[in-house]
Each structure stands twice: as structure tokens, then as C-alpha cells.
Structure 1
Amino acid sequence: MKSKIDSQSVAKDILPYNTTSLCPECIKIINATVYEEDGKVMIKKTCEEHGEFVEVYWGDAEMFRKAYKFAHDGPGIENPQIYDAKCPFTCGLCKDHMSQTALLNIVLTNRCDLACWYCFFYAKRAGYVYEPTIDQIREMVRTARSLKPVPANAVQLTGGEPTLREDLVDIIKAIKEEGIDHIQLNTNGIRLALDPELPKKVRLAGCNTVYLSFDGVDEKTNPKNHNEIPKILENCRRAELGIVLVPTVIKGVNDHQLGDIIRFGVDNIDVVRGVNFQPVSLVGSMPRREREKVRITIPDAIKKIEEQTDGEISREDFYPVPSVAPMSHFVEAITGHPQYELTTHWACGMATYVFKENGRMIPITRFIDVEGLFEYLNEKSEVMKSSKIKTIRALKSVIDLRKFVDSSNAPKGFDFAKILFDVLVKHDYSTLGDFHVKALFIGMMHFQDLYNYDIERVKRCEIHYASPDGRIIPFCAFNVIPEIYRDKIQAKYGIPLDEWEKKTGKKLRDDIYRVVKKPRD
């Protein structure tokens, strides 16, 4: 079912609108209303059995309206695995799914070398060890590569802690052999710190990026791996393995350090490629008063970044994920071939790029007319579809990208108009290498929980999980309804703890490097 939201209605204000959600207690599909109250966007729903639930959806209504201007649905999946669709209970992907697989998560293990007080995911509490074989992993990748109109081309290896797999290098090589270009390793980095050869090995095998847990700039906010961070950076530098810092943002815990985290990234921009903030998703049953203590949404975090960077990075610098769709449309119009379209729900994430020059951070929006460029690309896309002009020489005479770049305010040493032309028109990505070394990506992705759940977001999810049973499952179905997806799948394909320990000759407790205790109030 397509969204009830008409993207043309933005002029008359999107809010309020109706959607569907889940009851946080019984997980029944129920109607919900998204509306404005006191400058915030709220979601309200009522279960006949468990009563009314009210939750903040986005912390700023005006930023929500800006994000909504870029709402855009993708072409969906031409060869879905599931036809009898009832979102979010029949994921696989189904015929109603509207977005492609931009990133395929593959869980390598549910073992971990940290024992964190809040985690119910690791093997000991689950009662089994889940570790798919390399052959199973190959089949997962092949399924994702078979998707049409655009096959998956990026994989994230996750866990648990994936570096506990002794065959990690072989897994990376196998995935590369299946035609995946981009592989990133989602890790706490401890093994990368303890074994200086490991970053080199995974880089040579084909890993592009380390997706590194990084919750703060001191031990109090980041007890998991604060002491190992310097060594992780040093070893990844030597291996020329880029890092994306991934802070889970919790109000009252580490939200006062968002600016410091970005500065840390900028100060290490030779190895840190980005910071991807993830506002906390609230797992389990929690009273509203308790949720309000820790809940933070995308605009709340962006406002804190603005405050903590003294306006060097502002709320106006951030754009939602689907805003970049015109770039895909333009390339598709020139090539005649389907392209990746980042068409997540507009409320799922926002991002920007920043550069460092003369000790200051310069967001890309300060010297590129982002909205003007996107509008121009959409217009030219329509023209190019029916045009016979396809050669680079001819396109140079009709495509003028320089008018969207203010070179006087741009960082020195970059010809941004040329970079745009090379990428969009010539499909030459070599110039992007220097861009990514000099620019810091700042992203914001808020995964859902049962209190703020919006099924329309699930239908547009682009971050998916692969399963050994052949299904591909959206993130906010896989993790938010674990009894149907994550836990059920991994229990089915897992091995009981005692059997695993007997088979391997290991003890699960020997994996633990650090116990992370609940902080005192």
C-alpha cells in the first residue's frame, strides 16, 4: 500500500496525517496520527487492549517540514521474494517494499568481547551461538545481488563482534568474489587495537571502512573502547583503512559531547571519513516518563551540534536522505541504466559534509547551492531522457554546474564544479578520492522502536539484513520485532552453547575483554 501522504501537499502543510504503527505491548497493527504539538512532531496511537501511547516523533516541526519537501519513493523491487505482503510481518523483501538495498547487513556472530549491562543480544543470554558459514554468507550475498532493478553492492559485516570470527579475512574475500564493491566492518575496534596486523589483513582482503562504535570523547561517555581508540586510529592509519565514528546518542548521557565528537573526527580527518550519529532506540517496555529522560530525535541532536559548534555547523546545513535522488535521476537519464536511489522515508536520516580550513569547519552548503543544484538536475533529467545528446563533449555545452558553486567561499584546492561534472556526467569517480579524504561526512540515522514505530518508514527502508533462509529484511523489522525476525532466525540456525563449546574447545567467557557496568545515577 502506498503512503497516504501526498508529497504535493507540503504547501498546505503535511501535519497532521494518518499512518499505521504497532502496539508496544502486543505488537498488533494499529492506526496512528502524526501531528504537531508545542513545535514538536508527535505520534499518537491507541490499542483497544493496552490503551493510548504518545511519543515524540521528531523534536522540531519546522525541520520536519523541510525534510518532507524531499520525500521521494523509489521504484521498488521488480523481483520480490514475498508476494503475500502484510508489513511488517512478512518481510523478505515483499512486493510492497519501495526502496532498494543500499546496505546489506550480515551478522557474522552473536558472540562479543564486551559484556554490556544493557545488551540482550550476545550469545550467553541468547543461549546459543549463531555464526553462518561462508557458504551461507555467499548465498545471502547472491540473493541480494540478484535483486532488480539494481543489485545490492554494499555489505556491512556486523554482530555481536564480527572480529571474533577467525575466518573474517576469508569471509571478506568471499564477499568480494561475489561482486560486492563496498564492505564495511561494524566493530568496537578492540581487536583492531590489540592486533596491529588485523587492519592490514582486512583491508587487503577488500574491506573499505571500519564502522567504529564511539559514544564519546572520554571514558565516562565511552566506557566500551575509550582506552583503545588511539591504537585503533594508529593501526587503521597504517593500513589506510578509513573509519566512520558511530555514536549512539542518549539524552543526558553523551548528548553534551556531539560537537566534541565532530571535532575529534575533524582532527583525525586523515583516517576518519565520517561521524554517523544514531539517536537511541528504546528497546523493551518503558514508561513514558522514563522515555522522556533519554529520548533524543534527529533535530534535537542537530540543534545540539549547532550550539556546540557555535554555529559553524547549523541546522540549515542538513538535508534528508532522499534529497539526493535527483543525482540518481540525472545519471540514469544519461546512461539509460537504473541507478541506486536513496529513497528512505524523509524522517529516517539527515546528513551534511564539512571541510576544515584555517581551523574552522565549513559545511558544503556554505558554497554549494544544494537545493538549486538538485532542482536543476531534476529538470535536466527530464530533458536528457528524450535528448540524443549523450557524448561528453556535447553535454559540456548544455550542462552548467558552475553556477551552483561559490568558489570564493569554497575550501582551497578543490574544483567542485569539475568534481560534480566528472561524477554525474563522465561517471569518473577518481576525483572523489581526494574529496573523501578532505571532507567529513556527518550523518544522522534514527532507527525505530515500538513507541515511535511508523510502518511507512519500514516500507521505504534501505538498510537490510540477510538471513540464511534467503530472506532480506528491513532493519526496523529485523531488530524491532526480534521475536519474529532476529532472534527466531538466529535460534533456528544457531548452536546451543554447550554444543558449541564442546565442538570448538572454547569457553564463551574467554571471549570477554571488558565488562561494561551500568553507570550510577
Structure 2
Amino acid sequence: MANTRDYIYYDYTKSLCPECLMLCDAKIVFQDAKVFMLKNCKVHGDSKVMIADDVEYYKQIRNYNKQSEMPLKFNTKVHYGCPYDCGLCTDHEQHSCLTVIEVTDRCNLACPTCYAMSSPNYGRHRTLEEINRMMDVVVANEGEPDVVQLSGGEPTVHPDFFAILDLAKTKPIKHLMVNTNGIRIAKDINFVEKLASYMPDFEIYLQFDSFDAGVLTRLRGEDLTEVRKKAIANLNQFNVSTTLVVTLQKG
């Protein structure tokens, strides 16, 4: 009997090396009722990452197909190939369902898990003129953008935060979101009351990892349990539409 591998090969794709972020070959395989990506980088060798914990569900979502919805205009040419030309490039297969506009680099936390390396003293705030140009690019690409999310950094620390919201409301944006850690929402009830005035078609995308002090300290650098509770209470008081967003960390 022929020797067999301990997985079932399903597909081939391209991915990024987790060490150097260079493009590399990857296999998609089924193993132990889960779906894994087996990557091979010419410099850093093999790596393995789970991309789904349910094989049948993964196959079902792979079978969903529809015609690509293009943006009204593209911003970059194809030069190095995906993902290096993103902007959106002419080879992109989908318009921007949700556009993130980073209005500041700065944050009132210094989370160990932060992919943006934000902190109270890092980087700078974008000017209103810069933010206006960013919004205009999104509108030019999409016409009427489905969802625009203001992010950072922590957008609520921007000194012109409400001017940014006012500016966004002058654009043909269907739904506006604010991505926030909730600290200002927890500490300033008048701030929350003013947020409510931007509804409808407005939503808070609230960082919400846990009520466990140990978990919060590992993820956020400090215990934010009471901040989480107070932020939710204040948002509920003014019935502000809110989505709770969790960050997962291995281990």
C-alpha cells in the first residue's frame, strides 16, 4: 500500500511569509477536521496556520460566487502584483465594501497587541484638509460609499473629532462608523450625548475583549474592566448603535 500524507490536499494559493511578509507559495489542506494553510518561504522555510476549524463550512463558503463589483475608478496600476499594488489597483476584484480612514496615529492606550503601534506620543493627527481629501478619494471611487469607518490610532483623541464627523456627514456616505476603545465614551457622558446626534446611519465599533482583568492587561496593557462596563452603559443610555469587537490572541 502506498504511503499517504497526513492531510488531504485541497487547493493551491499565494500567501505571505509570517516572518518577512514576502509573497510565498501555499497549499490549503484538510487535516484533523480543520483547514490549514501550509506556506513555504524561500528564506524562512515552512510555516503552518489554521484558517478554518470546520472543513464542510469552508467548502460551502468557497462555493459562493458572484460577479465582481468594481469601484467607479482605480487608484494604482499593476506593477509588483498582489498584494503590493493595493490602492485599489486595476486587478482588484471588488469595490470597497468598508473603507477605513485613519484620522490619527495617536491613542490614549499603548496596547501590546496593536498592529498600528499607536500610543499617546506616536505619530500625529491628520489635518482636516487631509481627511477631507481622503474622504473625497473614497467618494470618487465609490460614488456613495456603503460604509466608512473612522479609525486610528484612537479617533476620539483627535482635537477636531466632531468636525471630522460633521465633514463626513456632508459626504454621500451611507453608513458612518467610529472605531474606538471606549475610554472617552466611558468618561464623558456629554460626549456620548453628542455622538447620538449623528444617528441614524451612525455606529460605534467598540473595542470589547473581556471583563477579565488578566486578559485585558495582556491585550491592552491595563485593566479596562470598569471602562468597558461604563462605556456600554453610557451608549445604552442614549441608544447609540454599537457593535462589540473582540481581539483574539493565540494562547
Q: What TM-score do you get using the length of structure 1 for normalisation? A: 0.42
Give the whole-Å Cα distance in 1 for the aligned partners of 2:45 and 2:105. 35
Runs of at least 5 residues in structure 2 that lack an aligned partner in the other structure: 1-7, 218-222
Which residue is 1:94 aligned to?
89
Runs of at least 5 residues in structure 1 that lack an aligned partner in the other structure: 1-13, 252-293, 295-521
- Contact 2:107 2:157 survives alignment (8 Å): yes
Q: Which has the larger radius of gyration?
A: 1
Question: Residue 216 of structure 2: SS of its match in structure 1?
Answer: coil
Which residue is 1:84 aligned to?
78
Which residue is 2:164 aligned to?
171
Give the whole-Å Cα distance in 2 for the aligned partners of 1:187 and 1:74. 31
Question: Residue 221 of structure 1: SS of its match in structure 2?
Answer: helix
State the 1:60 CA deviation: 2.1
Q: With CA pairs under 8 Å and 6+ residues apart, which has the higher RCO, 1 or 2?
A: 1
Give the whole-Å Cα distance in 2 for the aligned partners of 1:64 and 1:117. 31
- Contact 2:101 2:150 survives alignment (8 Å): yes
Give the whole-Å Cα distance in 1 for the aligned partners of 2:13 and 2:83. 13
Which residue is 2:118 aligned to?
122
* Cα 1:62–1:153 shift into 2, 3 Å: closer
Alignment-mate amino acid for residue 194 of structure 1: K
State the 1:61 CA deviation: 1.2
Question: Residue 34 of structure 1: SS of its match in structure 2?
Answer: strand
State the 1:46 CA deviation: 1.8
Question: Residue 66 of structure 2: SS of its match in structure 1?
Answer: coil
**Are residues 1:241 and 2:240 paired?**
yes
Residues 279-358 of structure 1 aligned to structure 2 (within 5 Å): 294=251
Give the whole-Å Cα distance in 2 for the aligned partners of 1:63 and 1:45. 22
Instruction: Give me the CA root mean square deviation.
Output: 2.3
Alignment-mate amino acid for residue 195 of structure 2: V
State the 1:234 CA deviation: 2.6
Residues 38-53 of structure 1 aligned to structure 2 (within 5 Å): 38-53=32-47
- 1:104 corresponds to which of 75, 81, 99: 99
Question: Residue 214 of structure 2: SS of its match in structure 1?
Answer: coil
- Contact 2:150 2:177 survives alignment (8 Å): yes
State the 1:59 CA deviation: 1.9
Residues 53-452 of structure 1 aligned to structure 2 (within 5 Å): 53-85=47-79, 86-119=81-114, 121-123=117-119, 128-147=122-141, 151-205=144-198, 208-223=202-217, 224-251=223-250, 294=251
State the 1:28 CA deviation: 2.6
Give the whole-Å Cα distance in 1 for the aligned partners of 2:72 and 2:164. 29
**Are residues 1:37 and 2:36 paired?**
no
State the 1:250 CA deviation: 3.3
Give the whole-Å Cα distance in 1 for the aligned partners of 2:101 and 2:160. 14
Give the whole-Å Cα distance in 2 for the aligned partners of 1:112 and 1:97. 32
Alignment-mate amino acid for residue 135 of structure 2: V
Give the whole-Å Cα distance in 1 for the aligned partners of 2:99 and 2:61. 25
* Cα 1:24–1:115 shift into 2, 3 Å: closer
State the 1:123 CA deviation: 4.1
Give the whole-Å Cα distance in 1 for the aligned partners of 2:237 and 2:102. 27
Question: Residue 70 of structure 1: SS of its match in structure 2?
Answer: coil
Give the whole-Å Cα distance in 1 for the aligned partners of 2:15 and 2:232. 41
Which residue is 1:25 aligned to?
19
Give the whole-Å Cα distance in 1 for the aligned partners of 2:186 and 2:159. 16
Alignment-mate amino acid for residue 107 of structure 2: C
- Contact 1:214 1:225 survives alignment (8 Å): no
State the 1:100 CA deviation: 1.5
* Cα 1:174–1:84 shift into 2, 3 Å: same
Q: What TM-score do you get using the length of structure 2 for normalisation? A: 0.84
% identical equivalent positions = 31
Residues 423-502 of structure 1 aligned to structure 2 (within 5 Å): none
State the 1:128 CA deviation: 4.4
Question: Residue 146 of structure 1: SS of its match in structure 2?
Answer: helix
